[in-house]
Structure formats: structure tokens, C-alpha cells
Amino acid sequence: MMADRNDLEKLDFGALSLDQQVKLRQFKIKTRIANEKYLRFHPEVEMLLSDFLRNVFLKRPADVHEFAADHFSDPGLPTKIQAQIKINNK
């Protein structure tokens, strides 16, 4: 069962012990490093996102959800992204 918003506001998020705070900080660092490694190994993720955002800002669609669905289901998108990666690697 999900807690409603009012229940979450009552929680004391500052109640972590020092050990829990240290473990949480280490988890965040490990997660950030893992994410960085993944993104470096997969430059297409950055290309996909930047291409999408550039088009959103240029075209300013009224229905962003529909625009995103059309954008990411474009059969030519993989070829376009691979071409951008090749240009950036030169």
C-alpha cells in the first residue's frame, strides 16, 4: 500500500544513524560512478536525449507525450543517432 503525501510529510528523514548516513553516502557515490561508466560506454544515450530535447525546444509541441512517442518510435532514429556518434568521434 502506498503512503499518501500527508503521511510522507510526517516521516522524519533526518532519523538516520551515523552508520546509515555513511552507507547511504557510499551507495550514492557507487551509483553515480556506475552511472558515469554506463553513460561513457553508451554515448547513444546522450545523443538520444540531446536530440530529443533539441527537437522539443525547437518545435515546442503542444502534446509532449505524443511528440515523444513519435520521436522515439521513428524507424530512422537508430541510423540518425549512429551518424551523430560517428561525427562526434571524428
Helix, strand, coil % in the chain, rounded to nearest 5? 75, 0, 25
Q: How many domains does the chain have?
A: 1
pLDDT in tens, 41-79: 998 898 899 999 999 999 999 999 999 999 999 999 999
89 near 56, Cβ under 8 Å? Answer: no
Question: In this structure, is residue 45 part of a structural domain?
Answer: yes
DSSP helix/strand/coil, 89: coil
According to the model, what pLDDT value does residue 16 have?
Answer: 82
Range of the domain at 77: 18-88
Q: What is the pTM of this model?
A: 0.62
Question: In this structure, is residue 1 part of a structural domain?
Answer: no
Question: In this structure, is residue 29 part of a structural domain?
Answer: yes
φ and ψ at residue 42, rounded to 5 degrees: -125, 75
Question: In this structure, is residue 83 part of a structural domain?
Answer: yes
Amino acid in the structure at residue 80: K
Alpha helices in 42-88 (DSSP H): 43-59, 64-72, 77-88
Question: In this structure, is residue 3 part of a structural domain?
Answer: no
